[in-house]
Amino acid sequence: MTVAEAIEKIKRVGTDSETIYTSYVTDDKKRLIGYTTAKDLLLAKDSTILIREFMDENVISVTTETDQEEVAQMLSKYNFIALPVVDKENRMVGIVTYDDAMDIIEEEATEDIEIMAGMSPSDTTYLRATVFEIFKQRIPWLSILMLSATFTGIIITSFQNKLAACVALTAFIPMLTGTGGNSGTQSSVTVIRALSLGELELSDVIKVVWKEIRTAVLCGLTLAILCFAKILIVDKLLMHNDGVTVYVALVVCLTMALTVLVAKIIGCLLPFIATKLGADPAVMASPFISTIVDATSLIIYFMIASAILF
Amino acid sequence: MTVAEAIEKIKRVGTDSETIYTSYVTDDKKRLIGYTTAKDLLLAKDSTILIREFMDENVISVTTETDQEEVAQMLSKYNFIALPVVDKENRMVGIVTYDDAMDIIEEEATEDIEIMAGMSPSDTTYLRATVFEIFKQRIPWLSILMLSATFTGIIITSFQNKLAACVALTAFIPMLTGTGGNSGTQSSVTVIRALSLGELELSDVIKVVWKEIRTAVLCGLTLAILCFAKILIVDKLLMHNDGVTVYVALVVCLTMALTVLVAKIIGCLLPFIATKLGADPAVMASPFISTIVDATSLIIYFMIASAILF
């Protein structure tokens, strides 16, 4: 076929096609051998040249087995209007266009966000979903995380006597576990998103851990100093809480710094571990991290308290 | 200009244009009056017809003041390859293409995810950002949330005597605040995402609250029953914790059900309030919700405990 004949054919069949801006060239066995764009055809100097000579043979295609997220990333990366889909014998079976890719990018982001918030991804929009569908989407993680909080309960119970001896320690538990959870979430969510956008690879794990350690030291020190000042001003001066001694403040602030460090290391490692195991890294986000960090920060807290106070 | 002349002009200037697949028609004052696509031009039956008659006058455009997220949503919704950008006098000043939109959709999702995880959005990728940049991105929310945990500390301190009288209550604090936080996060994140995709409007608030209440009742009852069974099996039978009486179990489970209800109502309301106030609803997600729900669930816990146990 010549360029002129190709334009004629596009005019004939174009009305019903999804896109006429990219045309794929196949051989007589329907195997994909090249492509050309409407832009190139329109701008062609010589319209009698054969498509075989005219087409670009470096055609990038996806197979019927390719994950939709990967297809969307490719379309976005190369700024293509469409990508051809081939079967195992390189026979062309369809195309994916940029508007499919936009929908996929949005869907996948929503899915990631839902999983990160401890929900199973849903196919329907919120207003269309029934209450029971939303319930089914949310109850599994709520139950799992509630039951896994048994461990934090056991840790507190085993330090019950020491807590009874220094009741002031109890008041700082939510602040410590909360800050630990937030620190871990920041790291895990950053890594999850970067992995999902292809900005990070599995092999970057050492670089990431090292970066998180340095960030954690900066964050941990800042928070520990801020926390010490807060305890002196709010708990000692304003609330006149006599149980809060300088030693208690020291225990809390040391725990704070150490918890932030451990939380950030766990937070950045878990998504890598999930990817390595072939699981979706997004499940490692916020709620899951919080549960692990809750337990870890309590152990750190009680160990430091035992060393300094008792 | 006729259709044939238009095709000739596109051939002449096309090589340097961002897209040749949509052509915008302006009058002699550069005001946008219509558009036509390469598809229509190529498929035109009669190439001597004037563009003025041939073009589509219903041209959808954005202004230089339109938010980039809105532009991307429009491109995605209408499956356009490009959208023309006009100034206040409707003079054409540029175009936004589908590949810009894909980048914007990804960027905005990343920004939402970062804000939801308590971080300021960043412009650089993780590996390129310096440790100090990452620190600056993360420390503000960590500090604010740590300091706001002062309230939970004050609540615990004011119930210190009762906690000392029934130490078993302390062990359930992380489970209750954690489950409350997770429940609230699920609701807020769902609403934030739906608002950001345009699936929900401000006027849907009553519908959303009613749906969340019914979901919360289902989730709360399920978790309360599960929690009662867990306390009897793990804490009573396996751990032989004598402090955990049936009354303590009742207090914990009632608190659980009520906390889930309150958390889900707060969780779905906050993003609407933020939108109403003109703030980004994403700041209302996970960490912020957790802090509010921590305080609320502790107040519920101690009030129910006071009523049943003391």
Find the mean pLDDT for residues B60-86.
85
Using CB atoms, pick whichever of A76, A147, A175 lies closest to residue B152: A175
Tens digits of residue pLDDT in B25-40? 888 888 888 888 877 7
Give, rounded to a whole angstrom, the gap between the first and last alpha carbons of chain A. 89
Min Cα separation A64/chain B (Å): 23
B261-280 residues touching A, CB cutoff 8 A: none
pLDDT at B2: 83
Q: What is the mean pLDDT of residues B174-190?
A: 92
Q: Please calculate the CA angle B6-B9-B10 and round it to the nearest 5 degrees.
A: 90
Q: Residues A274-286, buried b or exposed e (16+ Cβ, 10 A)?
A: bbeeeebbbbbbb
**How many CB atoms are located within 10 Å of the residue B202 CB?**
9
Which pLDDT band, with edges at 50, 70 and 90, does A226 fall under? very high
Task: Give the mean model confidence (pLDDT) for residues A110-132.
Answer: 87
- Residue A200 with chain B: CB contacts under 8 Å: 126-127
Under 8 Å CB pairs connecting chains A and B tally to 342
CATH architecture classification, B153-309: Orthogonal Bundle (1.10)
CB-CB under 8 Å, B139 with A219: yes
pLDDT digits (tens, 9 = 90+) for A31-56: 888 888 877 777 777 778 888 888 88
Query: The complex's ipTM?
Result: 0.80
> Each residue of A80-112: pLDDT tens digit?
888 889 988 888 888 888 888 888 888 888 888
Q: What's the whole-number mean pLDDT along residues B81-92?
A: 87
A10 touching B, CB under 8 A? yes
Residue B157's pLDDT is what?
A: 87
* B-contacting residues in A 285-304 (Cβ below 8 Å): 285-287, 290-291, 294, 298
Report CB contact under 8 Å: B7, A42: yes
Closest residue on chain A to B73 (Cα) = A102
A86 Cα to chain B: minimum distance (Å): 23
Q: Is the predicted pLDDT of residue A289 greater than 90, yes or no?
A: no
Q: Which of B76, B99, B222 sits opposite A79 (nearest CB)?
A: B99
Q: Which residue of B has its CA nearest to A198?
A: B125
Number of other CB atoms surrounding residue A46 within 10 Å: 9
Query: Where residue A18 falls among pLDDT bands split at 50, 70, 90?
Result: low
Contact A218 B139 (CB under 8 A): yes
Contact flag A38-B15 (C-beta cutoff 8 Å):
no
Shortest alpha-carbon distance between residue A218 and chain B (Å): 7
Say whether residue B114 is in contact with chain A using an 8 A CB cutoff.
Answer: yes
Chain B contact for A205, CB < 8 A? Answer: no
Give residue-wise pLDDT tens across range A148-191.
888 888 898 888 888 888 888 988 998 999 899 999 999 999 99
Cα(A36)–Cα(A6) distance, integer angstroms: 10
Which of 1.10.357.20, 3.10.20.600, 3.50.50.60, 3.40.309.10 would CATH assign to domain A151-309? Answer: 1.10.357.20
More confident residue, A275 or A1: A275
- Residue B249 is predicted with a pLDDT of 94
Q: Inform me whether the pLDDT recorded for A209 exceeds 90.
A: yes
What contacts B121, CB < 8 A, 6 or more positions away?
B110, B111, B114, B115, B137
Residue in chain A closest to B45 (alpha carbons) equals A11
Cβ atoms of B109 and A111 closer than 8 Å = no
Contact between B185 and B286 (Cβ < 8 Å): yes
Chain B residues in contact with A140 by the CB 8 A cut-off are none
Select the more confidently predicted residue: A230 or A237: A230
Note whether A218 contacts B157, CB cutoff 8 Å: no
What integer pLDDT is reported at residue B191 of this predicted model? 93
CA of A89, closest CA in chain B: separation in Å? 30
Contact at CB, B150 and A103, closer than 8 angstroms: no
CATH superfamily of this structure's domain B3-104 = CBS-domain (3.10.580.10)
- Residue A204: burial class (beta carbons within 10 Å; 0-12, 13-18, 19+): middle
Residue among A157, A214, A285 whose CB faces B171 most closely:
A157
Q: Mind spelling out the 3-state secondary structure of B124-154? A: CCCCCCCHHHHHHHHHHHHHHHHHHCHHHHH
Residue with tokens 């929908």: A103
Residue A282's pLDDT band (cuts 50, 70, 90): confident
**Which among B145, B78, B91 has a CA at the least distance from the CA of B289?**
B145
Q: What is the average pLDDT across B83-100?
A: 87
Q: A188: helix, coil or strand?
A: helix
pTM summary value: 0.82
Q: Is the pLDDT of residue B268 over 90?
A: yes
Name the more confident of A299 and B280.
A299
Higher pLDDT, B276 or B13: B276
Give the model's confidence band at A15: pLDDT under 50 very low, under 70 low, under 90 confident, else very high.
Answer: low
- Exposure b/e, B100-139, CB count within 10 A at least 16 = b: bbbbbbbbbbbbbbbbbbbbeebeeebeebebeebbebbb
Share of chain B above pLDDT 90, in %: 34
User: For the segment B232-255, what is each residue's pLDDT rounded down to a tens digit?
Assistant: 998 888 878 777 889 999 999 999
* pLDDT tier, A307 (very low <50, low <70, confident <90, very high otherwise): very high
Considering the four listed CATH numbers 3.40.50.300, 3.40.605.10, 3.10.580.10, 3.40.630.40, the one that applies to the domain covering A3-99 is 3.10.580.10
Q: Mean pLDDT throughout B289-309?
A: 91
Is B225 in CB contact (< 8 Å) with chain A? no
For residue B182, give the nearest of A10, A118, A219 by CB distance: A118
> Domain spans of chain A?
3-99, 151-309
pLDDT band at B263 (very low <50, low <70, confident <90, very high): very high
Q: Calculate mean pLDDT across residues A270-287.
A: 84
**8 Å CB contact of A178 and B290:** yes
Listed by number, the residues of chain B in 48-107 with a beta carbon closer than 8 Å to a beta carbon of chain A are: 72, 75-76, 79, 81, 98-99, 101-103, 105-106
